[in-house]
Structure 1
Amino acid sequence: MIHQRIKIAKFQSLIALVLMCVILSFLSDKFLTPANGWNVLRQISVNICISVGMTLIILTAGIDLSVGSILAFSGAVVAGLLKFGIEMPSYDLYVGFTLLGGVLSGLLVGAALGAFNGLVITKFKVPPFVATLAMLTIARGFTMLWTKGYPISSLGKEFAYIGTGWFLGVPVLVWIAALIVIGAIILTNRTAFGKYIYAIGGNENAARLSGININRVKIWVYTLAGILAAIGGIMVTSRLNSAQPNAGLSYELDSIAAVVIGGTSLAGGRGTIAGTVLGAMIIGILNNGLVLMDVSPFWQQVVKGAVILLAVMIDKANHKEE
C-alpha cells in the first residue's frame, strides 16, 4: 500500500495538470484553442527559465528571493546598452552595442549578482533568505537608477524577434526554455556537479566529509540561477520590446511555487527538473484559466497561494510515509 502511494505521489503533478486542463476546457471554450495554447507556452517559458535556477538552489537546501529583481536589472541593462550605448563626454567617447554585445552584458550582470549572492552566503555565512532578500532590494534599486524610473522602449526588430519571433513553427521563447531544460536535465543527471548538488542538499556535513567543495558548488549554483534570471529578463524585455522598471515583481514567488508544486523538497536533496517544468505549467495554466474566467486579480493571488500551501502539505505528507 505504501509503495503504491509513493508511485502515485511521483505522478501527482502530472495528474493535477491533466485534471486542471480537463476542468478548464469545460469552463472556457477559449482554453483549448491553438492561439491560447501558444500564448500559455510563451508565458510559462520565462518562469521555466527562472524556476530551473531556483530548483538547483532549493536542491542545495537554499532559496533565492532576488530572481525577479535580477531579471529586471539584467533586462534593463540590455535595453539601455542597445538603445543608448555608453557615453563618456569627458573623454569624447561613445561605445555602441550590437545585439550580441548587449545580450552578453545582461548575462554578465545576472552572473555577477548571482555570484555575489553565493559569496555572501558561503563566505560570510549569511542565511540564503536574508542574503537574497537584500539582493532583491539592491537589484531593484539598481534597476530604478539605471532606468531613472522610466521604460526603455523601441529596441529594434532584431531584439524583439527573441520575444515575438517563431522558428520552425514554434515561438523562439519556447525553444530557449526547451534548451535550458534539456541542459539542466543533463547537468543534474549526467554530471558530477549535479551529483554534488543533490549530495549537499541531502546531507551537507556528509558531502563535506566526502571531499565536496561545498562553497564552490553553492557559488556556482547561485551564479547559474543569476544567469537564468538574466535570460528571463532578456525574454521579458524582448517580448514587450521595452524594459519596464517594475518588471519581474513577484516572479520569485511563481518560481518557488513551480519548484514546490513540481515535487522538489524545500529541505533540499530531492526533486527533478522535469517536475519543475510540470509545476511551471500548472502555475501558467492556472493563471491563464483564471484570466479566461474573468476572475479578479485579487482572488487569483488567493488561489495561487492556496495551491502552493496545498502542494507543500502534500509533499510533507508523502515523505512522512516513505
Structure 2
Amino acid sequence: MKIAINNIGKDKPWIWACLGSLICWLITGLVLSKLDFQSLLVNAALASLLAIVSFGQMYAITSGDGGIDLSIPYVITLSAFMSFGIIQGVESNLILAMAIIAAVGLLIGFLNAISIIIFKIPPIIATMAIGFIVNSAVLVYSSSYSSHKTSVVLTTIANGRFLGIPIIIVFALVLLLMIVFSFEKMSYGRALIAVGQNRLAAFLAGINVNKTIMIAYMISGLLAAAGGALIGARIDGAFLEMGQAYMLQSVGAVVIGGTLVAGGKASPVGAAFGALMLMLMVTLMVISGLPIGVQYIVEGIILILVLIIDNPHADSE
C-alpha cells in the first residue's frame, strides 16, 4: 500500500496539491458553516493570477542549480505601473503597451540569464540583484505616475465572467495546456528537464545548455510581466511592492505542486493546484482572524515541510 502511494506521488505529483486544495476548501466550508462553490471560483480566479506567475518560476526552478527567480515581484510591480501608464484608458494603446511590457519582461529574464551564465553568479543572488535594479526603475517610473485607466480587455480578462466562470481561470487553463504541451511534446521542454537533471550529461547529449537556461529565465520574466499587467487590471491600480507576496507564493506553488526544487522535474498541473491550495489556505487563515505576519509564518513552515518531504537525497541518507 505504501509503495502504491509513493508511486502515485511520483507519477502524479500534483495529486497532493489537489487533495490539499480540497481539504482547505472543506475546512473553510466548516468554518463558515457553508460549502460555497462560488467561493471556490473566487479563490480559483485569484489562484489563476498566481499560477500564471508560478509557471514562469517553474521554468527557472526546473533549470536546476538552485534556479529561483527572485526578480519576479519587481517585474510584476513594474509591468502593472507600465500597463496603466502606457494604456491610459485608450484601448488602441493596448497592443503597444503589451508589446513593451512583454519586451521588458523578456529583457529582465535575459539579464538574469546573462548574470548566471556569463558571470557565474548564483541564480538567487543574480535574480535578486537584477530585481533591485528593476525596483529602482519602479521608483523612478512611479514618481511621475498619475492614476490612469487600464484596458477594458485586460479588465475583462482579469475580472469578467463567461457563463458564470471567471475568464481568468479559462486564460490560465489555456496557458497551462500550452505549457504541458511544451514539456511533453516539444524538444525544449525535454531539454530543460535534461539540463536540470545533469548539465554535463545534457551538454554531452548535444543540448545547448546556456540557450536552454536563458530561455527558461526569459519565459519567467515574460510570464511575470503578463501577470503584473493582469494583477493591476484585477485591482484596478498599481502601487509599490504590490508584487512582494508573489515571491514566496510563486516558489511555494511550484514546489508544493511537485516540481523538484533541485531542478530536472516540472509539474505544470501541480503548480496550478499548488497556487489554488495556497490561495485557499490564505482565505482560511483570513476568515480565522490570523494576523498577516502569522500567515506568512504558516506559509513558510508548510513550504519547509514540503522541501523536507520532497528532498531528493532523503532516501540515500
TM-score, normalised with respect to structure 2: 0.91
Match of 1:257 among 239, 252, 266: 252
- From the CA coordinates, give the structure whose radius of gyration is larger: 1
Aligned pairs (5 A) from 1:107-122: 107-122=102-117
Match of 1:19 in 2: 23
Please say if 1:75 is aligned against 2:80. yes
- Residues 147/213 of structure 1: CA separation in 2 closer, same or farther (3 Å cut): same
Cα drift, residue 71 of structure 1: 1.0
Structure 1, residues 47-103: CA drift from partner, whole Å, max 9, x if none? 101111111111111110111111111121121111299xxxxxxxxxx96112112
Distance of 1:44 and 1:283 partners within structure 2:
8
Q: How far apart, CA to CA, are the structure 1 residues paired with 2:97 and 2:291? A: 38
How far residue 29 of structure 1 moved from its aligned partner, in angstroms, is: 2.9
Amino acid at match of 1:38: L
Aligned-partner Cα distance in 1 for 2:223–2:53: 6
Q: Could you tell me whether the CA contact under 8 Å between 1:63 and 1:129 is conserved in 2?
A: yes
One of 44, 47, 53 as aligned partner of 1:44:
47
Check whether the contact 2:157–2:171 (CA below 8 A) recurs between aligned residues.
no
CA change 1:59–1:156 in 2 (3 A) is: closer
The aligned residue for residue 164 of structure 2 is: 169
Residue 124 of structure 1 is matched in structure 2 by: 119
Q: Could you tell me how far apart the structure 2 residues matched to 1:115 and 1:266 are?
A: 21
Is the contact between residue 151 and residue 243 of structure 1 (CA under 8 Å) also seen in structure 2? no
Aligned to 1:55: 58
Structure 1 residue 197 corresponds to structure 2 residue 192: yes
Is the 8 Å Cα contact of residues 78 and 103 (structure 1) preserved in structure 2?
yes
Query: Aligned partners of 1:279, 1:36: CA distance in 2, in Å?
Result: 17
Change (3 A) 1:317 1:265: closer
Distance 2:260 2:312 in 1: 12
Aligned partner of 1:229 in structure 2 is 224
Structure 2, unaligned runs of 5 or more = none
1:65 corresponding residue in structure 2? 70
Aligned 8 A contact 1:151 1:245 in 2: no
- Residue 316 of structure 1 corresponds to 311
The DSSP-based 3-state class of the residue aligned with 1:152 is coil
Change in Cα spacing, 1:14 to 1:156, as seen in structure 2 (3 Å) is: closer
Secondary structure of 1:243 counterpart: coil
More moved, 228-237 vs 142-151: 142-151
Aligned-residue CA RMSD (Å):
2.3
What residue ranges of structure 1 are gaps of 5+ in the alignment? 86-95
Calculate the TM-score normalised by the size of structure 1. 0.89
Distance 1:158 1:212, change over 3 A: closer
Pairwise CA distance, 1:142: 0.8
Judged with a 3 Å threshold, the aligned counterparts in structure 2 of structure 1 residues 156 and 177 are, in CA distance, closer, same or farther, namely closer
Cα distance in 2, alignment partners of residues 318 and 271 from structure 1: 18
Q: Which residue of 1 aligns with 2:273?
A: 278
Change (3 A) 1:159 1:180: closer
* Counterpart mapping for 1:201-216 below 5 A: 201-216=196-211
Over residues 235-276 of structure 1, what are the superposed CA-to-partner deviations in whole Å (9 max), with x where a residue is unaligned?
111112212222201312100001111111111112311111
What's the counterpart of residue 133 of structure 1? Answer: 128
SS in 2 for 1:246: coil
CA distance in structure 1 between the aligned counterparts of 2:96 and 2:144, rounded to whole angstroms = 24
Task: Tell me: CA distance 1:70–1:37, structure 2 relative to 1, closer, same or farther (3 Å).
Answer: same
Structure 2 CA distance for aligned equivalents of residues 208 and 275 of structure 1: 28
Asked if 1 retains the 8 angstrom alpha-carbon contact of 2:109 and 2:219, the reply is yes
| 1:237-248 alignment runs, 5 A limit | 237-248=232-243
Q: Does 1:3 align with 2:27?
A: no
Question: Once the 2 structures are TM-superposed, how far is the Cα of residue 149 of structure 1 from its aligned partner?
Answer: 7.5
CA distance in 2, matches of 1:168, 1:108: 34
Partner residue in 2 for 1:93:
none
The one-letter code sitting in structure 1 at the alignment partner of 2:72 is V
> Aligned partners of 1:205 and 1:156: how far apart in 2?
46
Matched residue pairs, number? 311
From the superposition, tell whether residues 320 and 149 of structure 1 become closer, same or farther in structure 2 (CA, over 3 Å).
farther
**Residue 294 of structure 2 is aligned to residue 288 of structure 1:** no
